[in-house]
Chain A
Amino acid sequence: MARQWRAGAAGIAILGLTLTACGGAKVGEDSAGGSDSSGKCGTFNLAVNPWVGYEANAAVIAYVAEHDLGCKVTQKDLKEEIAWQGFGTGEVDAVVENWGHDDLKKKYITDQKTAVEAGTTGNKGLIGWYVPPWLAKAHPDITDWNNLDKYAAEFKTSESGGKGQLLDGDPSFVTNDEALVKNLKLDYKVVYAGSETALIQAFRKAEKDKEWVIGYFYEPQWFMSEVPLVKVKLPEYKDGCDADAEKVNCDYPVYDLDKIVSAKFAKSGSPAYDLVKNFNWTNDDQNVVAKYIAVDKMAPEAAAKKWVEANRAKVEAWIK
């Protein structure tokens, strides 16, 4: 037994020596590289909601906060509800693209007072019914809701029970579509696709194979740069026409997308708060960064870097 032990130990010793002899760079030898500009910013907890447009906002803000303000940015991938919940528990400092969400505003800003608004992002959010571009070209009158019934039979599917199918449903967004179909007396049935992925895939295939699809969608959205969907005109939105959810008979309002921060963060005096508050860009700006991420498959930081370097003047205005 003892002999085997000795042999084993010797073998390991030799193996160990050979391996260490090859050496190489040691951990921690070249640690000088890191950011040394740890200014007064500290840690900045940025929620990242799961869609590419949001990711574009977050990536640019995070890049500027890190490189110009010397913050330590922690990005947290969270669904909206959970991100807002994080304001109260101190785990989230900012949400940087909010679509309406009056219910959350009431709960966290008015009632619990854990969050405050931090102005608009400059992006305009449109929600509505869209058709693929080939369809709008082939039948230009389809983009008016009055003519939809004429085409209802074409939109029939295995799911729609004999009526035209109106494909709905990213479950994250409020939809009035069932009420709209009823109140506009359209011969359509709302079918819940259930995810943004399902909607995009349906539109992508419809454009490629010239299929009839009409569905709920929104912009700004990276997919628009791949397939520029055409919006269908619904009866014009007027203030209060969507007040009673049962009786809605008008288009969706244009959302001014805005930013929400935690009450604590707003009072902290952190330069990151000023950055979030001043952050403002156009739909085109966001679409560029979103395209870098979604279509060109760049990492969010790389996409942000590219945009920031090309648009230094805009960035300076946020951090001056």
Chain B
Amino acid sequence: MTVAVEKPEKTGIAEPPAAPVKETRRISRSMVIGAILVVWLVLFAVLRGKQTLTLAAADLTDLHRWINDLNDSIGANRNSNPLFLYFFNEIRLVIDSLVTFVQELISQPTGDRPVPQIGWLGIVGIAGYVSWAVGNWRVALLAVAGFTFLGLQGLWQESMDTLALTLSAVLVALLFAIPLGVWAGLSDRVNRIITPLLDFMQTMPTFVYLAPLTLFFLIGGASATIATVIYAAPPTIRITAHAIRNVSKTTVEAADSLGATRRQSLLKVLLPMSKRTVVMGVNQTIMAALAMVTIAALIDAPGLGKTVVQALQSLDVGTAFNAGLAIVVMAIVLDRVTTAASTREEAARNSKNRFLAWRRPLLGAGAAIAAVLVYLSHTYLWAAEFPGEGSTGSAIARGADTVTTWAQDNLSGLTNAFRDAITNGLLNPFQTLLTDSPWWLVGAVLIALAVVLGGWRAGITTAVCVGLLVGTGLWSDGMTTLASTLVATVLVMVLGIVFGVWMGRSTLVDRLIRPTLDAAQVMPPFVYLVPFLALFGATRFTAIVAAIVYGAPVAMKIIADGIRAVPETTVEAATSAGCNTWQIITKVQLPMARSALTLATNQGLIYVLSMVVVGGLVGAGALGYDVVAGFSQGQLYGKGLAAGLAIVLLGVMFDRITQAAARRAGA
């Protein structure tokens, strides 16, 4: 990692050369921040409403029109352009055949067969066997139970369609991501070039590139797969690079001194030693791919996403929830299996299991059983089509409906009061401050804060981002979105600290809460938007709540890990010194987990930003609405793309500032 050289800040206050330098610097830093904010408020009072760069919802700038024209000309020349004929079409063919192959294997009928090649029994068998082979018997049991549950929900075929698409996308993603990650891990230059690209891929709202993708790769499996790959590949690239970098230098040097070639040291040292972390990257890629399921449904990708989207056209929350739950179940199974796979060798080595000697014959036997099940499911109808009507699914749907109706009927008075308190007390004043100040004032404040918090390098990045943000023509919308985003992040951090500390201090609580957090992260937001709309109305606050549901779990998990990493002995020492629980938390555990807190802020903010578009669907307006409208109306396409860029810029800006601040906190 290239850590920016820390320089003492030019704070205007002479720094005493005495010993407690760090203490002084921190005080002066918070004073500087205070001063910046005071200046901002004073200038805001004077200059309010001037040069705010507002743009009405239907208005366009030249940039937006130019993008529209570009998009049109690409569409018009599609059939004559050699790039399309010989490049994109070839890619599409390859990916399409891959997707079709997997689909015909597990989800779609082929030719004369009314059912796919492998039926439910075979899939359950394979899932159990593979989970056991790469993980342990516990996850194997989980896999079998989870997959059977999908069938009981009455969603077998939809689930398999989703699985087929996810598997194809993950396969394609890994094909590119692992080599790229290794390369970025070995070369600093590649890493520097690739990082902004990855930021772009992860924060650019999918809605923006969905329509062009279908222009390039046509409607169908290929486009859905590529859209998923774009979003899902970055985690593996990042984590692989990180893993390669973290292999201890001395090991590599030892290999070098033994005369290993570059190739040998890569294949025999670097890759094996980073395998465990790379598998975690694969895990993240799978999760990201599942998050795309509902969005891919908008371009006719078959599967659970379609069920969700269709149910919501008639506001059928129950059915949508049932399908959402299937996505959650699949995500939890895949997550636990890959996690178990990443720790298997270690666990096996430590456990001294007496079955270890039996492992090979058992693996053989398991493979044979799985093969028999596959054969059965290929041949017999009862093993091919999941039996039953999916009555569990309708029971779940009814239950979800009942709960939603109850909540809507009984809670809405309470929730409205809460919404109004937050909106009027926090969101409205803050938003006014951001949107009604002249753009150059807000820009200067942002840059100054970046310099104070993160150093000069972060300041320069921020300056560039502010400049480009003005360039998109959506400054005012950007500031509205920024206000909601920051309020959401503050709430995410409050929840993150409360639950993170609780989970960090008690393993039992952690074990109880964690599955809920996993569910909140992978449940498609579309499912819970309807009840949220009933509770909070179509407002910015609804968007904030949705963002919290998605962002808070990450913050909680990171903070819990941070708290747990505080050495046991330190806590014991504090206890024996007579500290009570509150003091231990505030004076020992939280300060010592400071870098985890900063990381949680960073991730919380990025997750909240990724919900901006969803927020646009429920009343947040601003950038999110621009993106959605751009996806739906041709003449607004350019504006939607510009709004997507603005979201990326906000993300990059805050990522760099918080990361630089985190490095400082760690230093």
User: Which residues does A use to contact B, with CB under 8 Å?
Assistant: 1, 4-5, 8-9, 11-12, 15-16, 19-20, 23-29, 31, 34, 50-52, 55, 76-82, 85-86, 88-89, 91-92, 103-104, 107, 111-112, 157-159, 167, 169, 171-172, 174-175, 178-179, 190-202, 204-205, 209, 222, 245, 293-295, 297
Contact = CB atoms under 8 A, between A and B. Distances in A.
Contacts of B634: 81, 103-104, 107
In the A-B complex, the 6 residue pairs with the closest CB atoms: A294-B314, A8-B365, A193-B538, A171-B629, A201-B533, A198-B538
A24 B380 contact: yes
A5 B633 CA distance: 65
Contact of B376 (A20, A28, A202): A20
Contacts of A79: 211, 298-299, 631-632
28 contacts: A4-B358, A20-B376, A31-B112, A34-B114, A50-B309, A55-B313, A76-B219, A77-B297, A81-B631, A81-B634, A82-B219, A82-B299, A111-B76, A157-B537, A158-B423, A158-B539, A159-B540, A159-B619, A167-B538, A171-B628, A178-B57, A194-B621, A194-B628, A195-B617, A195-B618, A195-B628, A201-B538, A297-B314
A28 B621 CA distance: 54
B298 A11 contact: no
| Of listed A1, A112, A167, A201, residue having the most chain B CB within 10 A | A201
A149 B616 CA distance: 28
B326 to A, nearest CB: 18
Contacts of A193: 538, 618-619
Tier of interface size on chain B: 35 or more
A80 B632 contact: yes
Interface string B531-550: 00110011111000000000
A27 B115 contact: yes
Contacts of A81: 211, 631-634, 637
B237 to A, nearest CB: 29
A24 B382 CA distance: 7
A199 B618 CA distance: 9
B313 A92 contact: no
Contact of B625 (A9, A28, A91, A171): A171
A222 B309 CA distance: 16
B419 interface: yes
A267 to B, nearest CB: 17
Contacts of A295: 314
Given A82-B219, A194-B628, A107 B382 contact: no
Given A78-B298, A79-B298, A205-B537, A191 B214 contact: no
B170 to A, nearest CB: 23
A8 B362 CA distance: 8
B380 A26 contact: yes
A26 B378 CA distance: 9
Interface string B419-438: 11001100010000000000
B167 interface: no
A86 B306 CA distance: 19
Given A52-B313, A104-B634, A295-B314, A31 B114 contact: yes
Given A24-B383, A27-B379, A104-B634, 14 more contacts: A19-B376, A23-B380, A25-B380, A27-B384, A28-B113, A50-B310, A77-B297, A89-B218, A103-B633, A158-B424, A158-B539, A198-B529, A198-B533, A202-B538
Given A8-B368, A174-B633, A209 B412 contact: yes
Given A27-B114, A171-B628, A178-B57, A86 B533 contact: no
A79 B534 CA distance: 26
Nearest to B378: A27
Contacts of A9: 365, 368
A201 B530 contact: yes
Nearest to A160: B539
Given A19-B376, A88-B75, A194-B618, A28 B530 contact: no
A263 to B, nearest CB: 13
A261 to B, nearest CB: 16
B493 interface: no
A192 B537 CA distance: 12
A200 B317 CA distance: 13
B361 A1 contact: yes
A309 B72 CA distance: 44
| Of listed B214, B215, B384, B534, residue having the most chain A CB within 10 A | B214
Contacts of B567: none
Contacts of A198: 529, 533, 538, 617-619
B389 interface: no
A294 B310 CA distance: 10
Interface string B147-180: 0000000000000000000000000000000000
Contacts of B368: 8-9, 12
Nearest to B381: A25
A20 B79 CA distance: 53
Contact of B382 (A25, A34, A86): A25
A171 B630 CA distance: 8
B313 A294 contact: yes
A21 B112 CA distance: 25
